[in-house]
């Protein structure tokens, strides 16, 4: 997969040289290039921002360097996806990461200050499939940290990036539920024993225990995820646990009874 990141702080993306993502780059699974937006300015001061029309606080990123930086990235036959990190974007999720992992090329445009001149987005929409994307309902100083998170979430889904692909199957958000708790040796630690069933060798019982934990955890921590579950995918044992956590199926919807 080809990834291009445009930023005024290319050094911010240095962690993408580490760990599994760094190895995927060395192995040729990821062709990740970081571009300095200032290299596409034409003035002596390498200016990338200016004051906002209409007044107001802060500075706005100028359009010209953005078009200069993005245009050369349009080499393939397809319109690439252009991800614009912004607190005003669609909220990034595991299902979006899966969608993006199927692309040939992703381009990330890291805004800073109050954002990028809106005409860049309008212009880019003619050449890219533009996706403004938020990490969540909080404000960062710029898009770089969001890009680190999104690149990691997407790249780990590519074949060969994670050594054991089984570890992608049973993890949080894969089936709309949070992951079950995990334990390792020693079996007793500071007065706490691990749940006995995990020593039983009974795989069906262990699977049931883990599923119960997933459902309980999700009900407690992320009730918003439960309301998005398809009730058709729940069996009797699931419904029993959910009832104990205060949920019932009413008119085909999983609803809290609290």
Binding site for ligand ADE (CB under 6 A): 85-87, 134-136, 138-140, 143, 146
In the complex, the smallest distance separating the C-beta of residue 178 from ligand ADE, rounded to whole angstroms, is 21
Smaller CB separation from ligand ADE, 65 or 85: 85
In the complex, the smallest distance separating the C-beta of residue 85 from ligand ADE, rounded to whole angstroms, is 3
CA-CA distance, 226 to 203, in Å (whole number)?
26
Q: Is the peptide bond prior to 101 cis by the omega test (within 30 degrees of 0)?
A: no
In the complex, the smallest distance separating the C-beta of residue 206 from ligand ADE, rounded to whole angstroms, is 38
Do 199 and 187 touch, CB atoms closer than 8 A? yes
Site of tokens 């987005």:
121
| Residue 143 Cα distances to 13, 15, 89, 114, angstroms | 11, 15, 11, 11
In the complex, the smallest distance separating the C-beta of residue 180 from ligand ADE, rounded to whole angstroms, is 29
CA-CA distance, 176 to 244, in Å (whole number)?
19
In the complex, the smallest distance separating the C-beta of residue 84 from ligand ADE, rounded to whole angstroms, is 8
Determine if residue 115 is left, alpha or beta; phi over 0 gives left, psi from -120 to 50 gives alpha, anything else beta.
left
What does DSSP assign to residue 202? -
Smaller CB separation from ligand ADE, 20 or 149: 149
Smaller CB separation from ligand ADE, 148 or 226: 148
CA-CA distance, 95 to 42, in Å (whole number)?
40
What is the number of the residue whose Cβ is closest to ligand ADE?
A: 85
Cβ partners under 8 Å of residue 207, min gap 6: none
Smaller CB separation from ligand ADE, 69 or 135: 135
In the complex, the smallest distance separating the C-beta of residue 148 from ligand ADE, rounded to whole angstroms, is 11
Smaller CB separation from ligand ADE, 152 or 170: 152
Smaller CB separation from ligand ADE, 136 or 195: 136
H helical segments located in 103-143:
118-124
Smaller CB separation from ligand ADE, 115 or 245: 115
**Coil/strand/helix, residue 205:** helix
Do 62 and 89 touch, CB atoms closer than 8 A? no
CA-CA distance, 79 to 109, in Å (whole number)?
15
In the complex, the smallest distance separating the C-beta of residue 208 from ligand ADE, rounded to whole angstroms, is 38
């Amino acid at each position: 997969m080809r990834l291009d990141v445009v930023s005024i702080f290319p050094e911010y993306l240095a962690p993408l040289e580490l760990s599994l993502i760094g190895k995927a780059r060395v192995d040729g699974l990821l062709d990740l290039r970081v571009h300095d937006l200032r290299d596409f300015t034409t003035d002596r001061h390498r200016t990338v921002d200016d004051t906002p029309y209409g007044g107001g606080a802060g500075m706005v990123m100028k359009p010209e360097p953005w078009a200069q930086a993005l245009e050369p990235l349009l080499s393939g036959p397809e319109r690439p996806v252009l991800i614009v990190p912004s607190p005003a974007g669609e909220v990034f999720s595991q299902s979006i990461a899966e969608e993006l992992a199927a692309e040939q090329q992703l381009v990330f445009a890291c805004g800073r200050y109050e954002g990028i001149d809106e005409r860049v987005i309008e212009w880019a929409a003619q050449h890219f499939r533009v996706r403004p994307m938020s990490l969540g309902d909080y404000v960062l100083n710029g898009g770089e940290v969001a890009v680190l998170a999104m690149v990691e979430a997407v790249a780990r889904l590519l074949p060969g990036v994670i050594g054991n692909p089984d570890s992608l199957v049973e993890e949080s958000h894969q089936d709309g539920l949070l992951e079950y708790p995990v334990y390792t040796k020693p079996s007793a630690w500071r007065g706490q024993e691990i749940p006995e069933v995990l020593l039983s060798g009974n795989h069906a019982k262990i699977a049931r225990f883990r599923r119960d934990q997933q459902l309980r955890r999700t009900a407690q921590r992320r009730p918003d995820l439960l309301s998005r579950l398809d009730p058709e995918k729940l069996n009797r044992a699931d419904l029993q646990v959910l009832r104990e956590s205060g949920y019932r199926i009413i008119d085909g919807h999983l609803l809290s009874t609290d």
